[in-house]
């Protein structure tokens, strides 16, 4: 099952310089991903950022997964003999 992150993530030049944030907050995607990388649980992040909820944090993870996939180089097609 893929989480639809689009209702949760926005980019607005007037908010945090246009970096992706959780809609309705000034919490950046980068901040949430850094917190996860440091070992925080989703529940701890929600406690530290009361403007977030669990679905929003999960949407950030889905957004990061899609973003990483888009940045991966496309392998060359195999040569057919």
Q: With pLDDT > 90 as the criterion, what percentage of the chain qualifies?
A: 72
35: left (phi over 0), alpha (psi -120 to 50) or beta: alpha
What pLDDT does 12 receive?
93
- What pLDDT is recorded for position 26? 95
Q: Which SS3 state, helix, strand or coil, does residue 7 take?
A: coil
Distance CA 66, CA 47 (A): 26
Q: Which residues in the chain land under pLDDT 70?
A: 1-2, 70-81
CATH fold, domain 9-71, is Arc Repressor Mutant, subunit A (1.10.10)
Return the pLDDT at 57: 97
Sign of CA dihedral 30, 21, 51, 6: negative
β-strand partners of 28: 21
pLDDT of residue 39: 97
Question: Would the pTM count as exceeding 0.85?
Answer: no
């Amino acid at each position: 099952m893929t989480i639809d992150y689009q209702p949760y993530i926005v980019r607005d030049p007037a908010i945090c310089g246009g970096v992706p944030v959780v809609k309705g907050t000034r919490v950046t995607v980068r901040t949430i991903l850094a917190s996860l990388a440091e070992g925080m649980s989703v529940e701890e992040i929600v406690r530290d950022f009361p403007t977030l909820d669990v679905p929003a944090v999960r949407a950030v993870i889905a957004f990061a997964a899609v973003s990483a996939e888009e940045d991966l180089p496309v392998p060359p097609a195999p040569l057919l003999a």
